[in-house]
Every structure is written in C-alpha cells, then in structure tokens.
Amino acid sequence: MPIPLLALAISAFAIGTTEFVIMGLLPEVAKDLSVSLPSAGLLVSGYALGVAVGAPLLAVVTSKMPRKLALQLLMGVFIVGNVLCAIASDYSVLMIARVVTSFAHGSFFGIGAVVAASLVPQEKRASAIALMFTGLTLANVLGVPFGTFIGQQFGWRVAFWIVAAFGVLSFLGVTALVPNRHDTGPAGLGHEVRVLKEPQVWLALAMTVLGFGGVFVVFTYITPILEQVSGFTPHGVTLILVLFGVGLTVGNMIGGKLADRSLMPSLMGILIALAVVMAMFAHTSHSRIAAAATVFVWGIAAFATVPPLQMRVVEKAKAAPNLASTLNIGAFNVGNAGGAWLGGLAIGHGYGLDALPYVAAIVALVALAVTSIAARMDAPAPVVAREVRERA
C-alpha cells in the first residue's frame, strides 16, 4: 500500500479520538463547566449532528478544490476546532467548538476515501479505504483510553491539546505525502450534485444507514448489558470494550480484503454474519465468557461492513464521488443515531436489555434486503430477463 495512506490513517486516528474521547471525560467536563451530566452528554449529540449536517456543506465549499488542498483545509478546521475545545471558557463555547470540529470529520473521511481509492489499482481500492479507516478503529483501542486517562489525570483540556497536536502532525503528513493530482480533482459542484440523481447512490446510502444502524441498537447500551445481563464489573466492561475495539480493527481489514474480491456478495455475507452474531448475543450475553467471545466476533462483523459500504458509494458515484462519499459518512452517523433511538424505543416498550440484539439482527436483515435489491439492479438486463423467463 502507498505511503500516503499512512497520512490518511493518522488523520483518521486523530479524528476518531476527538469524536469519542469526550465520552470518557463527561464527568470532568460537567464539573468544570458547572453543567449537568445530561447537558455534557449533549456534546456527543452535537458532534454527531455536526457530522451529518456540516459534512455536505463543507463538501460543497471544497467541490472545486484539488482533493489534497481540500484535505489540508479540513485538517486546518479540525485543528482550530480542537484548540477552541481546549480553551473553551464555558459550555456554549465548547459546544460550538465541538460542532466546528465535527464539520471536518465527515468531509475528511468522505474525500479521504476517494483519495485512498485513487492511490491504488482498482482491485485494491477497498483495502486502501480499509487502511485509512484503521486509524479510526485504533482510535477506539488506543487513542480514546489514552486520552481519557490523560484527561482524568491532568484535566480534560489537556486531552484536546494533545488531539490538536495530532491534528498538526496529520496536516504535515498530508502536505508531505499525499500527491498533488489536479487532473483527478472534483468536477465541480453541479456535476457532484447531478450524481445524486442516480437511484443506486441513494440505495448505497440506505445500505449504510441500515447496515451500521443495527450495530448501535446494541452498542449504545453495551455497558448496562454487560453489567446487568452479563455480570461484568465496570473495570471488566472497559476490558471488553477494548476487546471490541480489537475486533473492529480486525474486521475492518477483513472487510476491505473481501470487498476487493467481490464487493456485493461479500457485503451480503457480512450482513448475514452480523445478523447471526447479534441473534446469538441475545443468548450468550447471559454468560461472561460467552459474552466476551461474542463481543469480539461482533466487532469483527460490525466493522467488516465499513470498507464495502464506503466503496459501494464511491463506485456508484465514480463520475463525481466527493459529495456522495461525504454523505455516506453522514449516513453512518444517521445510522448511529437511528440505532440508538430504536434501542431506546424497544426498552421504552418494556423489552429487556437482552432483547436488543434481536432488534439489531432484524435491522441487519433489512439492510441485507436493500443490498440484495441493489445487487439485482446491477445485473445486466438480459440476465434479469432470462431469470424471469425461466421462472415463468
């Protein structure tokens, strides 16, 4: 894999760390800024909303820029946002800073995926995207625990200063390593928007919302599930989440390799595996050893979906992929929010925590159905007609 992918992976590591590290520092932030814990929790929601809404806006702003310049600009926004987080004088300023930082998130991953795919031969594009996203998975395994420890020991602001420093390193890496390719830059806003008329692009976005949304039906409530159903201590939950993060990293690379071999069949197979693992977790969650093993396998299946889902939208919007790829990053976040809402809805209707994996499995099966429809639309017309005649 080309060395420029390292710069993209480091950037993904920095972005992933700043997104999730706030979750481990909410008590410190709430106490320091004199707000309630639920109010501090809205900093997570604000970031997610910023990704979904701000990413397309920045994709529009950068639509005529060479992709390398766009990545540099977005990493500059990321650095400024994290510095503002570190120096925030009150809760409102911190919320604004988090939203500013989130604007860079979706656009960077969207454009970065296009750049990653352009750096390698066609048969390795999904693996290249997976390598970039490895930075995001390692952020969960290494960056977030380290940032949480630093923030708890030396103050939450120090954690954001460190993330800002990683942003500077990422900016320098993109500047030094990512090649200038003006001839492969964006085709302009009008051309980008016209691509959104393609039904397959919207199906790809729907596949992302559903394919990853089921993961967050359970992940949102993973701590109470592991404590109340499986019987883990809080310290044990932390270790299981690290194990889950290792599974994400492994699954990310496996998903990239499988998608390079055969994208749609691989994606359908992964979604089937995800549904099966989720259904199993409804039972294995009652045993600590079985729960730990299932969470690891679940992590593999969950993030194995990411490279093929991102590759799918890049492939279907290849004439002008920047905006579509960025929207797909927003689709992941819509799936996250929708999954969390669906899990809460199930609990609110009286279902137990151990029933949530069944809900997640159903969502994965719906994603499989949408993926199957998209795959059939890919089939050449004569093939489809022949199948109809044979069935008749």
Is the model's pLDDT at 249 over the cut of 90?
no
- Between 316-320, 337-341, 376-380, the lowest mean confidence (pLDDT) is in 316-320
Residues found in the chain: 392
CA–CA separation, 151 and 85 (whole Å): 13
Between the ranges 24-33, 225-234, 237-246, 293-302, where is the mean pLDDT highest?
A: 293-302
Is the model's pLDDT at 134 over the cut of 90?
no
Nearest Cα neighbor of 17 from 164, 115, 132, 172 is: 164
- Sort residue 213 into left (φ over 0), alpha (ψ -120 to 50) or beta: alpha
* pLDDT score recorded for residue 390: 59
Nearest Cα neighbor of 127 from 330, 306, 323, 302 is: 306
Compute the average pLDDT of residues 212-237: 86
Is the model's pLDDT at 282 over the cut of 90?
yes
Place of tokens 């994400």: 248
Q: What is the mean pLDDT of the chain?
A: 85
3-state secondary structure the chain: CCCHHHHHHHHHHHHHHHHHHHHHCHHHHHHHHCCCHHHHHHHHHHHHHHHHHHHHHHHHHCCCCCHHHHHHHHHHHHHHHHHHHHHCCCHHHHHHHHHHHHHHHHHHHHHHHHHHHHCCCHHHHHHHHHHHHHHHHHHHHHHHHHHHHHHHHHCHHHHHHHHHHHHHHHHHHHHHHCCCCHHHCCCCHHHHHHHHHCHHHHHHHHHHHHHHHHHHHHHCCHHHHHHHHCCCCHHHHHHHHHHHHHHHHHHHHHHHHHHHHCHHHHHHHHHHHHHHHHHHHHHHCCCHHHHHHHHHHHHHHHHHCHHHHHHHHHHHCCCCHHHHHHHHHHHHHHHHHHHHHHHHHHHHCCCCHHHHHHHHHHHHHHHHHHHHHHHHHHCCHHHHHHHHHHHC
Nearest Cα neighbor of 252 from 360, 137, 361 is: 137
Phi–psi pair at 89, nearest 5 degrees: -85, -25
Residues 6+ apart with CB under 8 A from 53: 330
b/e string for 40-62 if b means 16 or more Cβ within 10 A?
A: bbebeebbbbbbbebbbebbbeb
- Between 13-22, 71-80, 140-149, the lowest mean confidence (pLDDT) is in 140-149
CA–CA separation, 368 and 365 (whole Å): 5
pLDDT tens digit sequence for 302-312: 989 988 998 88
Nearest Cα neighbor of 106 from 148, 66, 170, 55 is: 55
* pLDDT score recorded for residue 384: 47
Compute the average pLDDT of residues 80-89: 94
Nearest Cα neighbor of 47 from 103, 127, 118, 109 is: 103
Domains and CATH numbers, the chain: 1-185 (1.20.1250.20), 187-392 (1.20.1250.20)
CA–CA separation, 312 and 322 (whole Å): 13
pLDDT tens digit sequence for 147-206: 878 888 898 999 999 999 999 999 999 999 988 865 444 455 666 677 778 888 899 999
Is the model's pLDDT at 346 over the cut of 80?
yes
* pLDDT score recorded for residue 239: 85
pTM of the model: 0.77
